[in-house]
Amino acid sequence: MTTRRIALIAFTLLALAAPAAAGNYPIDGKWGLSASTEKKPIDCSKLRVIAFNGSQRTDSQGGVPAYRNRTVEASGGGQYRVVDEFTTGQIGNAKANYTLRVVDADTVEMKLEKGGTLRLRKCK
């Protein structure tokens, strides 16, 4: 019985120490920072581009080149509360919190926790 308890405790501790499974973003592909009101994908060759790919997000001009999604929680009306993790040479295991709002098939907005909103258009 004691061996069984020890095994159960060890298994429980390992399960608690394992990283949480990352969520996937509700959008994918490349999105350019633009105030364009076109109703189709835009040319992003000269724009800041944020790419969403499964549970990874990259930013062509941000201070952090790559993020890993930690959670995505739908909050209704095409809005999602998102928590990403990132590490740079100077910062380890930091978090970025924001609201992602799907406006339409070609437009999304990222409302950043520290203020400001990025309006993104789907890239060609």
Residue 16 has pLDDT above 80, yes or no: no
Give the residue among 38, 70, 67 at the shortest CA–CA distance from 50. 67
pLDDT digits (tens, 9 = 90+) for 34-57: 998 888 999 999 999 999 999 999
Look up the CATH number of the domain holding residue 44.
2.40.128
Find out whether 121 and 34 touch, Cβ atoms under 8 Å: yes
| Rounded Cα–Cα distance for residues 64 and 98 (Å) | 15
Q: Give the per-residue pLDDT at 20.
A: 45
Residue 7 has pLDDT above 50, yes or no: no
pLDDT digits (tens, 9 = 90+) for 63-93: 888 999 999 999 999 999 999 999 888 888 8
Determine the structural domain holding residue 86 and report its residue range. Answer: 21-122
In a domain, 10, yes or no: no
Strand-pair category, 49-53 with 94-104:
unpaired
